[in-house]
Amino acid sequence: MQIYQNASLKPFHTFSIETSCEFLVIVESVDELISVYKNSDWKHLPKLVLGKGSNVLFTEHYEGVVVINRINGKKVVESEQAFHLHIKGGEDWPELVKWSTENGYSGLENLALIPGCAGSAPIQNIGAYGNEFKDFCEYVDVLWLEDFAQQRLTAEECQFGYRDSIFKREYQDKCVIVAVGLKLSKTWSPNTSYGPLQAIPQSELTPKRIFDEVCKVRMEKLPDPAKTGNAGSFFKNPVIEKDHFERLKQSFPNIVGYANNEKVKVAAGWLIDQCGFKGVSQNGAQVHPNQALVLVNKDNASAKDVIELAGRIVSEVSRRYGINLEHEVRFMNSSRETKLSECMGRK
């Protein structure tokens, strides 16, 4: 276990914005994780567990303990119908998908190159190109922070929704995800329902071919956080009523939407692009010129720059389309998770 005081968080979150925390601790086992929460000196300090820091914006100095999850390990058990993967929470998600595809454990290929770690994946119910984490989740192992007991939750108990789970609601700050269980069917069924995957010829449909295509598209459309700080998709794709979508379609025939049960999921990137925000800057923050859904740290941006730019986007989309965008990125203030509206002084 490594402990740092008054530590910079810039290397530990992909936005790469200069901010800091009172204490930073790197843990490599569940026992080390427990020792952090049992430390009497830190008893009354807020605590935050980070994997790769790929979906977080620190809005100010964090007056507590940031715990970096480096609990790693993979195990595969084979049944007649499926491969069952037990993945510890600190495993890098993009490397996991690559490893899984290369070793014949197929199914995760549509989720290639989503930044983050395995322990973060259930919280957001990460998804891309027609698949979500919940589609493969068999269980989630958690450490309860009240008594440090470990429990295995079924996928149903996790209450997965669109970029949502029980870990963002009832269980927030009450447990830490230490491992996940993934069930990958031996009978592989490709999902090519979204975007460029539809163009893959039937004769070329393999898990590796889909994996390669997803990686290619993501690398072309999304900035590499190692080069340009960002947290991936900043906003969720809003889900609206069908009649709202039909009214919008009369005024904006090219609006992009997908059926979502009895509602319609609208492409947030399209909305932002049509509002003219591609390439727009707010001091050091910028809407990426090639992907309107991504806000980047172009030139030593501050959290305030990102907040103000995001606020401008939300206001204009609401004014033009009557749609309220929600941020997918988690906002952290000095002690807890917060929201864009609070950061901008609105109730």
Active-site residue list? 163, 233, 328
> Residue 136 in 3-state DSSP?
coil
Q: How far apart are CA 21 and CA 33, in angstroms?
A: 18
State whether residue 288 is helix, strand or coil.
Answer: coil
Q: How far is CA 285 from CA 30, 54, 229, in A?
A: 37, 17, 10
Phi-psi region of 256 (alpha: psi -120 to 50; beta: other; left: phi over 0): beta
- Using an 8 Å Cβ cutoff, are 337 and 172 in contact? yes
Cβ atoms of 33 and 143 within 8 Å: the answer is: yes
Q: Are 53 and 29 in contact (CB under 8 A)?
A: no
Cα torsion through 241, 243, 247, 252, rounded to 10? 50
